Amino acid sequence: MDRIILHCDGNNFFASCECTVRPELRKVPMAVAGDPESRHGIILAKNDLAKKAGVQTAEPIWQAKRKCPNLVCVPATFDLYHSFYERINKIYLSYTDLVEPFSIDESFLDITGCMHLHPGKSPRDIADEIRERVKAELGITVSVGVSFCKTFAKLGSDYKKPDATTVIFREDVPSIVYPLPVSDLVFVGKKTTEILSAHAVKTVGELAQLSENYLVRILGKQGKDLYTVVHCLEESQVRDFYDYVAPKSVSHGMTFRRDLVGENEVKSGVSVLADRVASRLRFEGFKGSVVQVTLRDPSFKQIQRQKKLSHPTYLQKEITDISMELIRANWDFSKPIRLITIGVNELVPKDEETVEQVSLFDMEESHTDTKKQEAIEDTMASIREKFGDKSIKFGYSSDSELGIK
Report CA 385 to chain centroid distance, whole Å: 3
Q: Toward Mg ion, which CB reaches closer, 105 or 374?
A: 105
Task: Specify the stretch interacting with Mg ion by CB under 5 A; choose among 6-14, 168-176, 320-328, 332-340.
Answer: 6-14
CB atoms within 10 A of CB 12: 24
Whose Cβ is closer to Mg ion: residue 13's or residue 227's?
13
Between residue 44 and residue 63, which ones bind Mg ion under the rule CB under 5 A? none
- To Mg ion, the closest distance from the beta carbon of 11 in angstroms equals 6
Closest CA to 320 of 248, 402, 256, 395: 395
Nearer to Mg ion, 9 or 100 (CB): 9
Nearest CB to Mg ion, comparing residues 85 and 396: 85
Total of chain residues touching Mg ion, rule CB under 5 A: 4
Please identify, among the stretches 10-18, 131-139, 272-280, 370-378, the one whose residues bind Mg ion according to the rule CB under 5 A. 10-18
Q: Which is nearer to Mg ion, 13 or 85 (CB)?
A: 13
Name the burial class of residue 24, with classes exposed (0-12), middle (13-18) and buried (19+) by CB atoms within 10 angstroms of its CB: exposed
CB atoms inside a 10 Å sphere around CB 131: 19
Please, what is the minimum distance in Å from the beta carbon of residue 142 to Mg ion?
8
18 in helix, strand or coil? helix
| DSSP code per residue over 53-115 | TT--TTSBHHHHHHH-TTPEEEE--HHHHHHHHHHHHHHHHTT-S-EEEEETTEEEEE-GGGG
Query: Minimum CB separation from Mg ion for residue 32, in Å?
Result: 12
> Helices (DSSP H) in 190-315: which residue ranges?
190-198, 204-208, 212-219, 221-230, 263-284
Distance CA 291, CA 312 (A): 10
- Reported as half-sphere exposure (CB side, CA atoms, 13 A), residue 273 has a value of 31
φ, ψ of residue 194 in degrees (nearest 5): -65, -45
Cβ closest to Mg ion, residue 166 vs residue 271: 166
> Which residues are known to be catalytic?
106
Contact 271, 316 (CB under 8 A): yes
Of the pair 10, 288, the CB lying nearest Mg ion is at 10
The only residue of 100, 105, 110, 377 in contact with Mg ion, by rule CB under 5 A: 105
Contacting residues for 159 by C-beta, under 8 A, at least 6 apart:
145, 166, 168, 176
Least Å distance, CB 364 to Mg ion, is 38
Q: Determine the interface stretch with Mg ion among 12-20, 319-327, 359-367, 388-396 (rule: CB under 5 A).
A: 12-20
Determine if 377 is a binding residue for Mg ion (CB under 5 A): no
Q: Judged by CB under 5 A, does residue 385 bind Mg ion?
A: no
Measured between alpha carbons, how far is 46 from 280 in angstroms, rounded to an integer?
28
Phi, psi of 289 (to 5 degrees): -110, 5
In the complex, minimum distance from the CB of residue 278 to Mg ion, in angstroms, rounded to a whole number: 24
Report the nearest approach of Mg ion to the CB of residue 6 (Å).
14
Closest approach of Cβ 28 to Mg ion, in Å? Answer: 21
Of the listed pieces 3-11, 26-34, 62-70, 91-99, which binds Mg ion according to CB under 5 A? 3-11
Contact 249, 291 (CB under 8 A): no
Question: Which region, judged by CB under 5 A, interacts with Mg ion, from 2-10, 55-63, 118-126, 334-342?
Answer: 2-10
Is residue 9 a contact point for Mg ion (CB under 5 A)?
yes
Q: Please give the residue ranges that form the binding site for Mg ion (CB under 5 A).
A: 9-10, 13, 105
